Structure 1
Amino acid sequence: MTDASRELAEVIRTEGARILATLVRILGDLQLAEDAVQEAAIRAMRQWPVSGVPDSPRAWLTVTAKRAAIDALRRESVRTTREREAVHLDLGEPPEHVVHDDMLRLMFTCTHPALSLESAVTLALRTLCGLSNAELAAVLLTTESAVAKRLTRTRAKIAKAGIPYQVPSDSELPQRLSAVCAVLHSAYTSAHTASGHAGLTDVDGCREAVRLARLVCALMPDEAMPMAVLSLLLLTEARRRARTDGNGDPVPLADQNRDAWDTAMIGEGRRLLDDSLRRTDGIADAYQLQAAIAAEHAIAPSYPETDWAEVVRLYDLLIEVHPSSAARLARTVAVAELFGPEAGLAELEDDEPGVDDHRWHAVRGELLARTGRFGDAVTAMTASLTSAVNAPEAAHRRRLIAEWTLALS
C-alpha cells in the first residue's frame, strides 16, 4: 500500500462520516451522498499517488464528493429543482463547527419515527459509523443475514414511503430521542470493543460517541435519557486507559490499575447520573441502571471490594426493564463473584448461548478454570474463538488456553 493509499484510508476512516453528513444535509438523499463519497474516494485513489496528498485531504474529498453529486444529478434525464439548486452549491470546506453539527443532524435524520427502533438504529450505525454487516451484527446481537435484510427493508421503506432525509424541526426532536440515545450507546459499544479494529478499542470511535452524546445533552438539556447515556459513556470511558497494557493486550477488570482511571470523568459521570435520576424521581430506565452498575465499579477501592450484591440487584432490575443476553451474562459474572464460580456455572446452565455465544463460552471457560476443571475450560474457551472476536481479545483467550493446557500436564 502506498503512502497516498494509507492516507486516504485514514481520512475515510476518521472523516468519512462527517463528509457524508455534509452531503446528506445538502442533497437530502442518503444514497446519492454515499455514491458521491465513494466516487470521491475512487478519484483520490487515482490522483493522489500522482499529484500527491493534498494539504487538506478532507476538504479535497468534500469538494470532490459535492462535484460528483452534481455530476450525477446532471446525468438525470430531467433536470429537477434539486439539481438546479445543487449546481449553485458552495464548494468550499464547511467550517469545523458546521461539520460537527452535521453529524448530529445526520443522527436525528436517520432516526425518523416512521422507522422501527431497530431499523433506525441499524441505519444510523451504518451511516454514522460505517460499520460492516459483521460489526453491526456483533453490536446489535444478531446475525449478519438479519442485518442485511433489515438494511434492505429499511432503505426500501424509505424510498417507497418517501421518507425525507432532512433535519427534523425542534418540536420533532423529542420523538426521536429514544432512537438517538440507542444509536449513541450502540456506537460507543461498537467502538469500545471493536470487532473490526486492529486494537481492542477504536479510540476515535469512543471519543466521537462521547462528543455526540455531549451535543445531544446540550441540545436537550432538560431530558433525563441523554444525561444517563452520557453518564454511562463517561463512566466506561474513564477506565479505557487501563483496559490494555503497554503491548495493547487486554487487561481484565480485576487486574486493572485503578490509579489509571480518570477520576474527573468518573465524577462527572456520577453527577450526571444523579441529575438524571432526580428528573425521573428515581424511576430508572435501562441507561440509568447500566450507569449505576458502572458507577459501582468506579467507586470500589478494588475488584474484591466491589459491592457485588448491589451489582447483582441492579442487573436484576436491568433485566426486568430491558432483558438482553448481554445483561444476563454480565449478571452471571457478578453472581460468580458474590457466591463463587459454581453459582455462576449454574446460572449459565439456565441461560444457554444465543447470538452472543462467544462471550457465553468465554465466561464459562473462566469459571470452569476457577474450579480446576481445566480440560473443560479449554474446550469452552476454544469454542469462544469465533470471527466476532477481535485480534487482541482472541490472543488473550489463546493465552488462557495455553495456561490451562499447561496446568493439565
Structure 2
Amino acid sequence: MAALEDHAWSGSAGFAAADPDQALRILAPQVLGAVVRRYGHFDVAEDAVQEALLAAARQWPGDPPQDPRAWLIAVASRRLTDLLRADQARRRREETVFRLAHVVQPEVPGTDDSLVLLFMCCHPALKPDAQLALTLRAVGGLTTAEVARAFLVPEDTMARRIGRAKQRVKASGLPFALPPAEERQNRLDVVLHVLYLIFNEGYTATRGDSLQRPDLAAEAIRLARLVRRLLPDDLEAAGLLALMLLSDARREARTAADGSLVPMAEQDRTRWNAAQIAEGIELITRTLPRGVPGPYQLQAAIAALHDEAPAAEATDWPQIMALYELLMRRAPGPMVALNHAVAVTMARGPAEGLPLLDGLTALANDHRLHAVRAHLLEMAGDPQGARAAYLTAASLAGTLPQRRYLNARAAKIPRSNP
C-alpha cells in the first residue's frame, strides 16, 4: 500500500515433481470442488481430500503422476467411500455413494470447480466470520492454525468453528453449483474480502521463514480473474484484480538472493513485472471513471502510482495522500490510518505524520505500527527513539526476514552514551 509496504501492507507431472508442495496447494481447492460436485458430503469430502494430499506428499517426490489432479480426485474419492462406509448406517451410505456416483452434478463448461466452492463457502446461511474462515480453509488452502492466527483465536476454537460451518453447509442442502445470478451480488462482498485476505497472506506471510507465499498469491489472482469473468461489470471485482496484479508485480524485487527483505524504496524496479503492471494500470484506468470508486479500486489506484514511479523519489506522494484520505472516508480502519500517516509524512514531513500514529491503539501489538514509527522517528532526527521502536517491531514480527530486517535497522543506529 505505502512506501513502507513491507511493514504496513499487509496438470502435469513435471509441475508436481518440480515443486510438489506448491502443486498440492494449488490443486487442493480444485480437487475438493470436484469431489463435492461428484459426491456431495462437503464435510466428509474435505477430510478425504486432506488424506489424499498427505498421500501425495509421501508419494509424489519419488513417483509423480502423469495427471496430478486426476490422481488426487481418484484417491480422495476412494477415501470418501471408505469414510462413508465406516458410518453406522453402512447400507444407506453405500447406496447414497452409488447413487451420487452415477448421478453427478454436471460440470458447467467454462466454470472452475474452485470458483463454485468459493461461492458455496460464502453461503448466506453462515455468519460472516464463518464464511471467511471456511473459505480460507477450503479454498485458500490455509491451515487451521493459519486461519486461527488471522482471526486471533486459538487453533482448537477455529477448528470447531470451521467444523460447525461445514455442518451448516451440509444441512442447507445446497447443490454444488454457482448461485443464481440474482444471489451472486449478495455474496460478492464476502467473496472479494476472502480473496483479499488470501492474497495478503501470500504477499506477506504472517508466520514462517519466508516473507512471501507466492503460491497463495497466485491462487488468489487466479480466483479473482474467475470472479471478474463471472461478473465483468462489477467495479470492485475489477479493482481487486488490479490491486493484486500491481502489488504482486513487485514480488521478485521484495527479497534479496538470501531471502532478506528489501523495502520498496530500495528495490530494483527493473525486476518488477512490467506485464502485470501494464495489465493492472490498464484495468484500473478503465474502471475508475465508471462510478464512485470503492476501497479496492482506491487501493489499486495507490498501487498504480507506486508502480508508475520510475524511482522512489519520483513517487507522487501528495496524490497518494489524497487517495488515502478518500479511502479513510470509504473504508476506515487502523491499517488504512497507518498507511495514511506514512503518506502524510512522505508528502509533508514527519512532524505531521508522527502525531497520526498516537491514536492507533488497535495496532499496539502489530509490528507494522512500531516499524512505521521507527522509520518516521529516524526521519525526524530521533535515532534512539527509532532504535527502540525498531527493536519493539522486531520482537512482534511474525516472519524471520522481517525480524532480521528490523533488527538490522536497529543495529545501524549506535547506542547513545550514558
For normalisation by structure 2, the TM-score amounts to 0.83
Unpaired stretches in structure 1, ≥5 consecutive residues: none
Task: Tell me what 2:92 maps to.
Answer: 79
Distance 1:408 1:267, change over 3 A: farther
Could you tell me which amino acid in structure 1 is paired with residue 160 of structure 2? T
Higher relative contact order (CA 8 A, sep 6+): 2
Q: Does 2:203 correspond to 1:192?
A: yes
What secondary structure sits across from 1:33 in the alignment? helix
Task: Tell me what 2:177 maps to.
Answer: 167
CA drift of 1:68 comes to: 0.5
Task: Tell me what 2:257 maps to.
Answer: 246
Task: Tell me what 2:244 maps to.
Answer: 233
Alpha carbons 1:5, 1:45 under 8 Å: kept: no
The answer to which of 349-358 and 222-231 deviates more is: 349-358
Q: Distance in 2 between matches of 1:221 and 1:391?
A: 40
Could you tell me which amino acid in structure 2 is paired with residue 241 of structure 1? E
Q: Does 2:330 correspond to 1:321?
A: yes
Task: Tell me what 1:293 maps to.
Answer: 302
CA drift of 1:219 comes to: 1.5
CA drift of 1:112 comes to: 0.6
CA drift of 1:120 comes to: 1.3
Alpha carbons 1:22, 1:99 under 8 Å: kept: no
Task: Tell me what 1:19 maps to.
Answer: 31
Deviations 1:114-160 (A, max 9, x none): 2233331221111122323553355x5x4133x86466346425535
Task: Tell me what 1:40 maps to.
Answer: 52
For normalisation by structure 1, the TM-score amounts to 0.85
Task: Tell me what 1:371 maps to.
Answer: 380
What secondary structure sits across from 1:79 in the alignment? helix
Aligned-pair identity (%) = 35
Q: Distance in 2 between matches of 1:298 and 1:269?
A: 10
Q: Distance in 2 between matches of 1:388 and 1:330?
A: 18
Distance 1:164 1:316, change over 3 A: farther
CA drift of 1:336 comes to: 1.4
Task: Tell me what 1:352 maps to.
Answer: 361
Q: Distance in 2 between matches of 1:153 and 1:377?
A: 41
- Aligned pair count reads 396
Could you tell me which amino acid in structure 2 is paired with residue 168 of structure 1? L
Deviations 1:33-63 (A, max 9, x none): 12112333455577779x9554555543321
Q: Does 2:38 correspond to 1:30?
A: no
Output aligned runs, 1:6-405, within 5 Å.
9=21, 11-43=23-55, 52-76=63-87, 77=89, 78-80=91-93, 82-86=96-100, 88=102, 101-136=112-147, 140=150, 142-145=151-154, 149=157, 152-153=160-161, 155-156=163-164, 159=167, 162-164=171-173, 166-171=176-181, 172-280=183-291, 283-354=292-363, 357-386=366-395, 389-405=398-414
Deviations 1:361-391 (A, max 9, x none): 1111222233343333232222223565212
Deviations 1:220-262 (A, max 9, x none): 2122121111111111122222212222222111112223223
Distance 1:89 1:58, change over 3 A: farther
Distance 1:5 1:244, change over 3 A: closer
